[in-house]
Amino acid sequence: MNMTDRLNPLLVKDVRSRMRGGRSFLMLSFFLLFAGGISYLVYQSTASISSYDFAIVSSGRIGQSVLAALLVTSHILVLLIVPLLTLNAVSGEVERKTYDMLLATPLSPRQIVDGKIGGALAFAALLLFGVLPLVSIASFFGGFTLADFGNGVLVLLMTVICVALLGLAASALFRRTALAVLVTYGIILSLTLVHMFVVVSGASLLNPNHAPPAWWFIFNPVVAQLNSIGVIHDKAMLLAGGRPVWYGYMLFALALSLLSYIVAWRAVRQRQRWHFGRRDWLVVVVALLILVVAGALFAVSGSGQANATSPAMAKPTPVPMYYAKPMPTALPGHGTGAGTSAAVTPLPLPTLQP
């Protein structure tokens, strides 16, 4: 018995059928070219701006900017591509009239769900592994730690699992690919663009002098990605207990993933689809407890943190800059001017008034 015989047969079938076609390689090439192209453009713009600063500062700024551009671009592509891998997992079987044959196999509904989601996650892992060489280029410039990179990858992996399960749940629940696409991408759009519009407009209407509470941002994957790598690290982005926003997003995405898995598993069943057993209720209770605990821990932010100003509203801290001020050269007849050197004089930046 070889290793493939021990694996889920549906998982092996999906991986083999997906990798035998040319669409997967085109998708992988597009993913890498787009992420690499955006990172190169960010590198060029940051390098041109940083050329007026000191070399050490410029190198760190370039590295952090390239890493942020790479991870955020990969995150956006994941939100667009990964749901396509699971949106027709069940509805495609129904539309091709092969769903009854799939149910007639010895596979249980849970094994069917595991095989479908496993094949999609295997290809998504291939996409993410392809980005690692580009990250190594950003590490040459510095500007970020290994912990920052690990946090960013952890948030990206959680988003991959969440949107893949969300697409699978919509496909199994509605049994129509077009309707599953509308529902899945509607939820993703609501958690990204619509969420930011509601947060910004709500904060400007309710309390324009202060930043919105930090827990408002735990639903947005892009904000969590930027917060995990240290690009957004203001006091306004700290939750109760000084926890960063991406901690709350991880809990929210985990709870949404568990609920999506339960919906997909129950929807695949042909009979008693919504008859929950003890283990089913246990998983539901665990998912709800995660949401309740997340709300209890992160919704009650400290008053100082809730009223903290946003990075755009915060008053900048004056940092002394230094420039070389050469001593005046000796005029003819007033000395040789030998031994004169450049004196470093502090130039404080003025503090901006609110």
Query: What's residue 343's pLDDT?
Result: 47
Instruction: Examine the pLDDT at 181 and tell me if it is beyond 90.
Output: yes
Segment 170-177 shows an average pLDDT of 90
- Give the per-residue pLDDT at 162: 94
| Whether pLDDT at 50 is above 70 | no
Is residue 215 within 8 A of residue 298, CB to CB? The reply is: yes
Residue 226 tokens, joined? 């930027």
| 85: nearest Cα among 20, 158, 7, 165 | 165
Locate 39 and state its tokens: 């990172």
Nearest in space to 150 (alpha carbons), one of 39, 245, 71: 71
Domain boundaries, the chain: 8-306
CA distance 218 to 203: 15
Least confident of 35-39, 172-176, 281-285, 310-314: 310-314
Pick the closest to residue 123 from 228, 20, 226 (CA basis). Answer: 20
Task: Look at the alpha carbons of 110, 127, 21, 87 in this order and tell me if their dihedral is positive or negative.
Answer: positive
Q: What is the CA radius of gyration of the chain?
A: 26
Q: What is the pLDDT of residue 226?
A: 86
Instruction: Report the chain's terminal Cα–Cα distance, integer Å.
Output: 72
Is residue 218 pLDDT above 80, yes or no?
yes
- Predicted TM-score (pTM) of the model is 0.75
Residue among 173, 6, 156, 3 at smallest CA distance from 82: 156
The H-assigned helical ranges of the chain are: 3-6, 9-20, 23-50, 55-86, 91-95, 99-103, 109-139, 146-174, 177-189, 195-206, 221-228, 245-268, 278-298, 303-306
Among 330, 316, 319, 323, residue whose Cα is nearest residue 345? 323
Cβ contact 86:263 at 8 Å:
no
Residue pair 323/350 in contact by the 8 Å Cβ criterion: no
Using a 10 angstrom Cβ sphere, with 0-12 exposed, 13-18 middle and 19 or more buried, the burial of residue 162 is buried
Collapsing DSSP to helix, strand or coil, 322 comes out as strand
Q: Is it the case that residue 165 has pLDDT exceeding 90?
A: yes
